[in-house]
Amino acid sequence: MGAASEPFRLLVLPGDGIGPEVIAETLRVVRRFEGELGRTVEVSEALVGGAAIDAHGLPITDETAALALAADAVLFGAVGGEAWDRQPIALRPEAGLLRLRKDMDLFANLRPALCYPELVAASSLRPEFVEGLDILIIRELTAGVYFGEPRGVEDLGGGVSRAYDTQAYTSVEVERVVRAAFDIARGRGRRVCSVDKANVMQTGAFWRAIATRVGADYPDVELSHMYADNCAMQLMRRPKQFDVVVTDNLFGDILSDAAAMLTGSLGLLPSASLGAADSQGRRKALYEPVHGSAPDIAGRGIANPLATILSFGMCLRHSMDAPQAADRLDAAVRRALAAGARTADIATPGATVVSTTAMTDAVLRELEAV
């Protein structure tokens, strides 16, 4: 039996805030492709984040983490909200997501920042700076200061205390994510910008040396290096100079938010977090919108489902071996935008604002045409 006829096991973790709403709409898209691809998608669902804290006292249970490890892919909504803000760090909603990243060893986090022609005016930069923008930030996701040990707070006596985290990378951790960046760059603009703080940090100089060594294996891809602070500045100054940016966990967190805002459409940006490919080319994967749980608009049916729908598009491409279906879904989203469908977050003057469900309806309708 070929892989294409085996059921695809999708674990859905809606989470908090608008997570459940955007996931519910995306599942309508999943069902559509299930029919088109002739491949059964077995969807199971579990709690994560604040929802899991309320039910089980933990942001993710061992059972749910095991389900994620056994699944072909995880589709994640969003986590967090004021109700859980006073939890200790290890018991906050975010800890559920961090555990999944670590347990599943999802070291390569792909965060495209694409400026849709219809939304050029929504960017904080002038149109000529963002028109045609197509950056892919690849963020290392399982190491660095997010997970480094030791970490803690200690009492130094005399009323003074001290908090510390550890930034640490092994050569394996750097090499595998840099290699992923080069491999992916080959399928697009063939330019990799590796971002670090080699002028200040040991881990930065180490990162740069490894990126340079790996780069020698890819003579067809242009490698440049940039300090992280300069990169933040260059993203604002001349963002179209970038093709693929590869960087560590913390810099990637910050720079991907900056890049996202350039597009004027945080509600549209998907992401994929990928592990290493096994001998059959399958990899563990988690797909999630870049936006957060937006508790202020939760439950009102007005959230933008496109980032989650496009995250499923990345799942079609990277986990379901269906790049043509992924292209069609991308095209349908563009057509829906071109036809004027706007949720409140991307509403342009004079546009008719549609609900979460109506936006999904528009995408499903356009899928007929592409």
Q: Which residues bind ligand IPM (CB under 6 A)?
A: 94, 97-98, 253
Inter-CA distances, 255 with 9, 161, 175, 312, Å = 32, 31, 20, 23
Question: Using CB distances below 5 to 8 A depending on partner kind, what does residue 74 bind out of Mg ion, ligand IPM, none?
Answer: none
* Minimum CB distance to ligand IPM smaller for 248 or for 253: 253
Question: Using CB distances below 5 to 8 A depending on partner kind, what does residue 94 bind out of ligand IPM, Mg ion, none?
Answer: ligand IPM
Q: End-to-end CA distance of the chain, in Å?
A: 30
Residue 185 is given by DSSP the state H
Question: Using CB distances below 5 to 8 A depending on partner kind, what does residue 108 bind out of Mg ion, ligand IPM, none?
Answer: none
Show the beta-strand stretches assigned E in the chain.
Answer: 8-15, 41-45, 73-78, 108-114, 134-140, 152-157, 160-164, 191-196, 222-227, 244-247, 270-277, 283-289
Minimum distance from residue 32 beta carbon to ligand IPM (Å):
27
Minimum distance from residue 270 beta carbon to ligand IPM (Å):
12
* Minimum CB distance to ligand IPM smaller for 76 or for 182: 76
Under rule CB under 5 A, residue 253 binds Mg ion: yes
Residue type, 276: A
Minimum distance from residue 253 beta carbon to Mg ion (Å):
4
Q: What is the CA radius of gyration of the chain?
A: 20
Q: How many residues bind Mg ion (CB under 5 A)?
A: 1
Inter-CA distances, 354 with 82, 131, 275, 302, 357, Å = 27, 25, 36, 7, 8
Minimum distance from residue 109 beta carbon to ligand IPM (Å):
8
Minimum distance from residue 311 beta carbon to ligand IPM (Å):
12
* Minimum CB distance to ligand IPM smaller for 49 or for 305: 49
7: preceding bond cis by omega (within 30 degrees):
no
In sequence order, which ranges of 167-299 are alpha helices (DSSP H)? 171-186, 202-215, 228-237, 249-262
Question: Using CB distances below 5 to 8 A depending on partner kind, what does residue 366 bind out of Mg ion, ligand IPM, none?
Answer: none
- Alpha-carbon distance of 126 to 262, in angstroms, equals 10
* Minimum CB distance to ligand IPM smaller for 106 or for 185: 106
Q: Which residues are catalytic?
A: 146, 197, 229, 253, 257
* Minimum CB distance to ligand IPM smaller for 22 or for 41: 22
Under rule CB under 5 A, residue 21 binds Mg ion: no
Question: Using CB distances below 5 to 8 A depending on partner kind, what does residue 106 bind out of ligand IPM, Mg ion, none?
Answer: none
Inter-CA distances, 154 with 162, 163, 164, Å = 5, 6, 9
Question: Using CB distances below 5 to 8 A depending on partner kind, what does residue 97 bind out of Mg ion, ligand IPM, none?
Answer: ligand IPM
Under rule CB under 5 A, residue 140 binds Mg ion: no
* Minimum CB distance to ligand IPM smaller for 72 or for 253: 253
Helix (H) or strand (E) holding 337: helix 323-338
Position with the least CB separation from Mg ion:
253
Minimum distance from residue 228 beta carbon to ligand IPM (Å):
15
Residue with tokens 């260059």: 234
Q: Which residues bind Mg ion (CB under 5 A)?
A: 253
